[in-house]
Structure 1
Amino acid sequence: MRAWDDLPLFPKLLPSWVPGVVAGFASLHLIQKLLFPYFWADLRYLLKVLLYGLRVESYRQRGKIVTVLDKFVKLAEKQPHKAFLIYDGKVLSYRDVDRRSNRVAQVFLHHGTLKKGDTVALLMGNEPDFIHVWFGLAKLGCVVAFLNFNVRSRSLLHCLTSCEPKILIVGADLLGTLEEILPNLQKDISVWVMTKDSTFPSVHSLLDKMEAASEDPVPVSRRSASNLKSSVLYIFTSGTTGLPKAAVISHMQVLKGAAGLWAFGATAEDIIYITLPLYHSAASLLGIGGCIELGATCVLRKKFSASQFWSDCKKYNVTVIQYIGELCRYLCSQPVKDGEKNHKVRLAVGNGVRNDVWREFLNRFGAVKICEFYGATEGNICFMNHTGKIGSVGRTNFFYKLFFPFDLIKYDFQKDEPIRNKHGWCEKVKKGEAGLLISQVNAKNPFFGYAGNKRHTEKKLLSEVFKKGDLYFNTGDLMVQDHENFLYFWDRIGDTFRWKGENVATTEVSDVIVMLDFIQEANVYGVSVPDHEGKAGMASLILKQNRAMDLEQMYKQVVTYLPGYACPLFLRVQVSWMSALCIQTSMLFEQREV
């Protein structure tokens, strides 16, 4: 008997067309791999986006608005003992944070005159009480303005003027900054400090009152939102010109930001490590908001430390980290140690990492999926690199553009404006060419603008772009889209550069420098520095006639009035006949970690 006669009968009984079908599916699979290699990854990501949108819409259809704060309060009831925050070794559960934020709400409910919709400015560093105060004020229905604690003097006063807060709350380690602005602070702003007593006249202490306050929740009606488009936060951004501007953040934007970690594949079992400043949307919305969306745990650190980073990750079993490009470079610059891949980190979410640093990071620290994304704080467009393609900030396709319409258009660098053809319309760039990223403004993707600054809000909008009546948000960023529909950040337009993970408006720096009595003119711009992310500040100066450069006074001026990342590292002193003496002054401005 032949060997095949011993085989089961069912293969012989299969219809003759089955092998053809199998071969057809195999061919389709091969064609998909060759021509559409990212089809399934794109489909999974798109389905996640649609699922989240449908979930939010279903709540709205039922007349129910569910905010991120509502989700947190629900989690405090559902999983009260689960760790929400770990800070300096101390563990705070969901219930702990909920109850302490209730204390904050109770203090201002009984000691203040805050009404629903009032603005409160928060000047604090990374610490649990930042979150307690934020949530407590949000439970009263207040709009919370996150102030950048690096900003000082006139710039800080400008921030307070633009968001018009009823109350300013200052962290215990920032009393020196408060002392600088207190004499010029508007008299109708009530000031509170995170201490048990106050040495400043007319300044209230908060910690003592929190300890005496009730942990009972305030009425839900105070925090309830009638519209997802209503304002809930102000987050300051330097934008492309002038002093910092308060970007209006709605409940809708907070929900979108909070969904980021989930979209990248994080789960409730993850432990997220946040070392970025909470006053930025990356740490507050994506990080803290993302933890709430997942019901996960967050490890919060006061300040990033390259030497302690991996030790913390191992100590707290961290599985997800947040980064900016400079942070990754600092980690790669650390001396090589044994066991660098001995950790549980599986996802790294952030933006701005260079290709060479990206590769070195993976080689040194193991199979960590780097999830790069793009999104401006005040913008209405976001890209996410869900495939891990090195260098890309995200992908697009036909379906994505249906929901989030955007284009890359030609830009005139000499005139500093988009190029328009003879008919007055903007023109799209070809694939592989750098173009200005613009995003259509509509009911589904609104632009909320800046608080107290209608002119700056209008300047960020482009009208009559491709047809009569259309409206687009101008991101101020140049991007490139390749033939596989991956997007890459190219550069920023306008009078700005990025250093230490922060945007620096050149006009703000030059305005501070020309206050010196020996400076005639100051032109500030960014210059590339080898092995560093972004661009460092260069100030090209013309001195007043018969005046000499006073480096000591220059140093005192910039460190007093500018945040550290905005201080120019290089000076170029030009005399009247335009020959230039380049003076490198980086030794005057100490290079510190982020």
Structure 2
Amino acid sequence: MMSLSWITGIVTGLAALHFLQKKLFPYFWVDFKFLLKVMRYGFQIEMYKRTGNVVTVVDRFIQQAQRIPGKSFLIFQGQVHTYSDVDRRSNRVARVFINYSTLKKGDTVALLMNNEPDFLNVWFGLAKIGCLVAFLNYNIRSRSLLHCFHSCGAKLFIVGADMLETMEEILPSLQEDNISVWVMSKETSLQGVNTVLDKLESVTDEPLPSHLRKVNSIRATTLYIFTSGTTGLPKAAVIGQLQAIKGAAGIWAFGGKPDDIVYVTLPLYHSAASLIGIGGVIYLGATCVLRKKFSASQFWNECKKYDVTVIQYIGELCRYLCRQPEREGDKDHKVRMAVGNGVRGDVWKEFLARFGEIKMCELYGATEGNICFMNHTGKIGSVGRTNVFYKLVFPFELIKYDIQRDEPIKNQHGWCERVRKGETGLLISKVNSNNPFFGYAGNKKDTTKKLLCDVFKKGDLYFNTGDLMVQDSDNYLYFRDRIGDTFRWKGENVATTEVSDIIGILEFIQEANVYGVTIPEHEGKVGMASIILKPNKVLDLSSLYNQVITYLPGYAQPRFLRLQERMEVTGTFKQQKFRLVKEGFDPIEVKDPLFFLDDSKKSYVPLTKDIFDKIISGLLKM
């Protein structure tokens, strides 16, 4: 009897503990399981740090090419490229630059290419000879493009065959600086420009000596990926081996498998596609279906055609897919997992209802940042979840922030204050040896501006993400907005000062104040510019249209204009944006003249109530 009573007591106690765990700590086991997985990978990274034997993403690719040479690595426009194919062709690319250029280990090469297999062949080939690669955004033009090239200290410029027109705009400046320019074609009529493809057959595809790509520090720079950060022209975010290795484990951490087929439609110059997408495929030894550009109408057709199991997304992509006409068999596909960021809660729900029970793996992280969140439980609308264990590894805080003054709120002692759960605060992440901030290449000023010093005590240092977030009672985090002089549209960061500078070149513009405004059913904010004319000058809408179309990528072109007589400024003489953002572009509410960018008329036109209503209702596409 005593024995039976003892067993009954244990069972009752365990049942009670299970009940309490479910009631008080409902996410304990799912968090614990995910934590073990992360710790396992963290231990591997720690060994890289201690031993100096760093296995880079390209090292991992070479290992996979030796292990599974005949497996499909890349499928592009119906053509299959095996791991061995890409390994051998990237060897040839590497040898072309060894034999025909002056490149040496440690040099930086700028790459301007669309999504295509040779993007990877060039990237891997250059890495195999120890060169750093800067991924240039193919949407930027002229002055911004030239700035990007010089800011990363590149000594050589490689351009895709279909990007020649963009490159020609800056070619004279490059040649004045004795920059070696190469194009991925067999021939070119451009004087002084070298070709790559005609030289590939003259070199061997034998492996390169491993010492050329050898990396002794996990902090060593491997890439430059451009981000608009918070102000000014695009900045070259320094991507260390640590960031690349962490990014490559993202799909695996969410449950990716070697037999997965990953569909990548995002641009490879973005860290999402290159580090998480391609890096993730390499880490798993999986297969990537690469598309030149995203197409909402062809998306699911290709997923079905290639038996895709994992897709990458940004919020806009999911919304575009949901806006496509409904078809019979919308759920008839093999996609089981979607990895990405920036999808709104309502779009998230609609996406699942429309396309089936896909595991949505939302994550958060800035290209240059030192913190990330991963929503491993699938909580709709959340960018991730934190707990005591997570904060030990990635210490962060949400602090009080004055949106109108555009600065953190400090108490009477001069220290920042944490917000309570449920309150919106600025996300800051502690900078330390485990979570370094590498900053921007050749830009000490902007690197320093991203750091907050003496936040809670003398000597502490935090990375300012520039993002406002809220943490709920279950420790889920939700993105709310961006601060300062950047907004996000079409999945891209738009630096308001860069747009202002482009508009300000026009001889009739005295000042331009650029900001983002919200539109129903759209992620992010669309560009709007408040402008002041010079004395005795008139507004030339056609010239203004031509200026922004010529010198700004589509996502950065202000769709709305507001003509004001004077510019409001803050007490520190910064342009005041808060009221302008709040008032938006409703011609009934705003008394100043408003204009809308009309591509059909190749000009800005007066923003009428009819145009406004069509935009708000979704009849006029943005």
| 504, 514, 517: which one aligns with 1:514 | 504
**Structure 2 counterpart of 1:71, from 49, 54, 60:** 60
Q: 1:412 to 1:60 in 2, by over 3 A?
A: closer
Q: Secondary structure at the match of 1:585?
A: strand
Residue matched to 1:202: 192
Residue in 2 that maps onto 1:8: none
Matched letter for residue 595 of structure 2: I
Q: What is the CA–CA distance in structure 1 between the aligned matches of 2:92 and 2:238, rounded to whole Å?
A: 27
Whole-angstrom CA distance in 1 between matches of 2:281 and 2:598: 39
* SS state at 2:488 partner: strand
Q: Equivalent pairs: percent with the same residue?
A: 67
Shift of 1:59: 4.2
In 2, the alpha carbon distance for the partners of 1:554 and 1:77 equals: 55
Deviation of residue 548 (structure 1)? Answer: 2.5
Matched, 1:130 2:142: no
Q: Deviations over 1:68-107 (max 9, x none)?
A: 1111101100110011000001011100000000001000
CA contact (8 A) 2:48 2:218 kept: no
Secondary structure of the structure 2 residue equivalent to 1:565: helix
The Cα of 1:335 is off from its aligned counterpart by 0.3
Q: Structure 2 unaligned runs (5+)? A: 568-589, 604-614
Instruction: Tell me, yes or no, if the aligned pair for 1:479 and 1:487 is still in contact at 8 Å.
Output: yes
1:534 to 516, 524, 548: 524
SS of structure 1 residue aligned to 2:23: helix
8 A contact 2:370–2:431 mirrored in 1: yes
Match of 2:423 among 425, 433, 440: 433
Structural mapping, 1:499-578, within 5 Å: 499-575=489-565
Question: What CA deviation, in whole Å up to 9, does each residue of 1:97-130 have, x standing for no partner?
Answer: 0000000100011111111110000000100000
Determine the C-alpha separation between the residues in 2 that align with 1:512 and 1:376: 26
Structure 2 residue 164 is matched with structure 1 residue 175: yes
Report whether the alignment pairs 1:489 with 2:479: yes
- The partner residue of 1:253 within 240, 243, 267 is 243
Q: Does 1:321 align with 2:311?
A: yes
* Alpha-carbon separation, structure 2, partners of 1:211 and 1:273: 31
What's the C-alpha RMSD, in Å, of the aligned pairs?
1.8
Cα distance change of structure 1 residues 593 and 246 upon mapping to structure 2, 3 Å threshold: farther
Mapped to 1, the partners of 2:245 and 2:566 lie a distance apart of 55
2:135 maps to 146
For 1:580, the equivalent position in structure 2 comes to 592
Paired with 1:593 and 1:285, the residues of 2 have a C-alpha distance of 32
Three-state SS of the structure 2 residue aligned to 1:331 is helix
Q: 1:587 Cα deviation (Å)?
A: 4.4
Segment drifting more, 230-239 vs 528-537: 528-537
Letter in 2 for 1:334: Q
Provide the C-alpha distance between the structure 1 equivalents of 2:229 and 2:375, rounded to a whole number of angstroms. 24
Alpha-carbon distance between aligned partners in 2 of 1:44 and 1:565, rounded to the nearest angstrom: 40
The equivalences for 1:61-140 within 5 A come to: 61-140=50-129
**Aligned positions of 1:66-465 closer than 5 A:** 66-185=55-174, 186-465=176-455
1:5 aligned residue: none
SS of aligned partner of 2:5 = coil
Q: Tell me: CA distance 1:450–1:421, structure 2 relative to 1, closer, same or farther (3 Å).
A: same
Distance of aligned partners of 1:513 and 1:95 in 2 relative to their CA distance in 1, 3 Å threshold? same
How many residue pairs end up in the alignment?
Answer: 583
- What is the aligned counterpart of 2:28 among 36, 39, 46? 39
Show the counterpart of 2:41. Answer: 52
In structure 2, distance between residues paired with 1:98 and 1:14: 66
- C-alpha distance in 1, partners of 2:309/2:188? 41
Q: CA deviation at 1:560?
A: 1.0
Q: Which moved more, 1:526-535 or 1:227-236?
A: 526-535
Taking the aligned partners of 1:33 and 1:208, their CA distance within structure 2 comes to 65
Distance 1:587 1:32 in 2: 59
What TM-score, normalized to structure 2?
Answer: 0.91
SS in structure 2 at match of 1:558: helix
Shift in Å at residue 24 of structure 1? 1.7
**Who is 1:4 aligned against?**
none
1:25 to 14, 21, 24: 14
Greater relative contact order, per chain length (Cα 8 Å cut-off, separation 6+):
1
Contact in 2 for aligned 1:123/1:147 (Cα 8 Å): yes
Instruction: Give the Å deviation of 1:586.
Output: 4.4
Q: What secondary structure is seen at the aligned counterpart in 1 of 2:411?
A: coil
Q: Distance in 2 between matches of 1:429 and 1:576?
A: 36
Contact 1:304/1:593 (8 A) holds in 2: no
**Aligned CA distance change for structure 1 residues 254 and 593 (closer, same or farther; 3 Å):** farther
Give a deviation string over 1:13-54, Cα, whole Å, max 9, x none. Answer: 973222221222122112111111111111111111110011
1:582 CA drift (Å): 1.2
The alpha carbon displacement at 1:593 in A equals 10
Cα separation, 1, equivalents of 2:220 and 2:471? 34
Distance in structure 2 (CA, Å) of the matches to 1:564 and 1:213: 40
CA–CA distance in structure 2, aligned partners of residues 593 and 243 of structure 1:
28
On the 8 A contact 2:53/2:215 being kept in 1, the answer is no
Q: Deviations over 1:488-522 (max 9, x none)?
A: 00111111111000000111101101111121221
Q: Residues 296, 14 of structure 1: CA spacing in aligned structure 2 closer, same or farther, 3 A cutoff?
A: farther
Deviation string for 1:536-562 (max 9, x for gaps)? 011111222333222221111111111
Residues 263/495 of structure 1: CA separation in 2 closer, same or farther (3 Å cut) = same
Aligned-partner Cα distance in 1 for 2:460–2:528? 39
Question: Which amino acid is 1:251 matched to?
Answer: Q
Q: Secondary structure at the match of 2:225?
A: strand
For residues 237-292 of structure 1, the C-alpha deviation after alignment (integer angstroms, 9 at most, x for no partner) is 00110000000001111000001001100010111000000000000000000011
1:575 CA displacement: 4.0
- CA shift for structure 1 position 212: 2.3
Q: Which amino acid aligns with 1:219?
A: P
Scaled by the length of structure 1, the TM-score of the pair is: 0.96
In structure 2, what is the Cα distance between the partners aligned to 1:584 and 1:232? 42
Deviation readout 1:293-318 (Å, 9 max, x if unpaired): 11110000000000000000000000
- CA distance in structure 2 between the aligned counterparts of 1:539 and 1:276, rounded to whole angstroms: 28
Instruction: Say if 2:469 and 2:479, in contact at 8 Å, map to a contact too.
Output: yes
CA distance in 2, matches of 1:398, 1:545: 60
